[in-house]
Amino acid sequence: MPFFKENNVLFAVLCMAQKIGYTFCMKKTNAMRILDGLKIQYETLSYDDDGEHKLEHGAAAMTAEKLGIDPAAVFKTIVMRTEKKEVVVFCQSALHEINLKKARTVAGAKEVTPVKQEELLALTGYVRGGCSPLGMKRKFRTFIDQSALTHEKVYVSAGLRGEQIALAPADLVRATGAEAVDLVLE
């Protein structure tokens, strides 16, 4: 949409229209299409993506800061593989790390290890920093930390870096077919 980028006033008006339900500013992602198909209400939020998505840098917490939202309500998507090669998805609050013992227990596995960054796109259709628990190439068992259920809204990646989806936690659980469990590392 080069015309809109050049005409900032029109672009701003169209982006404001997006907030009331019109989507002119961004292309729909698989995650959004799934929510639309299920008739689940959501909103999208955009932020400047600096490309820094290393785990040790707290990308989810930085996303919350950029959007001015509670980091406890921002959920990062972590894709892991069991010793039997099953791919399992975990969603954890930006404030916490996943307790691997709890992750193994809920997955019924002896071992879980993070999927390598170079495998993520082929497995899920998403890149690190833009991995959504919604709309992956295949349906994987998904576990969401139960703390999500304490929030009015939770935020997950929309499937693109720099884009988040805000929705009710019960709707996220329904759309992903997830199980809400305790995953917090204490």
Kindly state whether residue 104 falls inside one of the protein's structural domains.
Answer: yes
From the first residue on, what is the mean pLDDT of each consecutive set of 10 residues in the chain (186 residues)? 45 51 67 97 90 61 89 95 97 93 97 95 92 95 97 96 96 97 90
Kindly state whether residue 130 falls inside one of the protein's structural domains.
Answer: yes
Kindly state whether residue 1 falls inside one of the protein's structural domains.
Answer: no
Kindly state whether residue 8 falls inside one of the protein's structural domains.
Answer: no
Give me the pLDDT at residue 64, please.
86
pTM listed for this prediction? 0.82
Give me the pLDDT at residue 49, please.
77
Give me the pLDDT at residue 16, please.
53
**Count of structural domains within the chain:** 1
CATH code of residue 164: 3.90.960.10
Kindly state whether residue 4 falls inside one of the protein's structural domains.
Answer: no
Kindly state whether residue 91 falls inside one of the protein's structural domains.
Answer: yes
CA distance 4 to 2: 5
DSSP H or E stretch at residue 100: helix 100-107
CA distance 186 to 180: 17
Sheet holding 43-46, edge to edge: 43-46, 163-167, 154-157
Residue 40 belongs to what domain range?
A: 28-181
Kindly state whether residue 17 falls inside one of the protein's structural domains.
Answer: no
Kindly state whether residue 106 falls inside one of the protein's structural domains.
Answer: yes
Give me the pLDDT at residue 4, please.
42
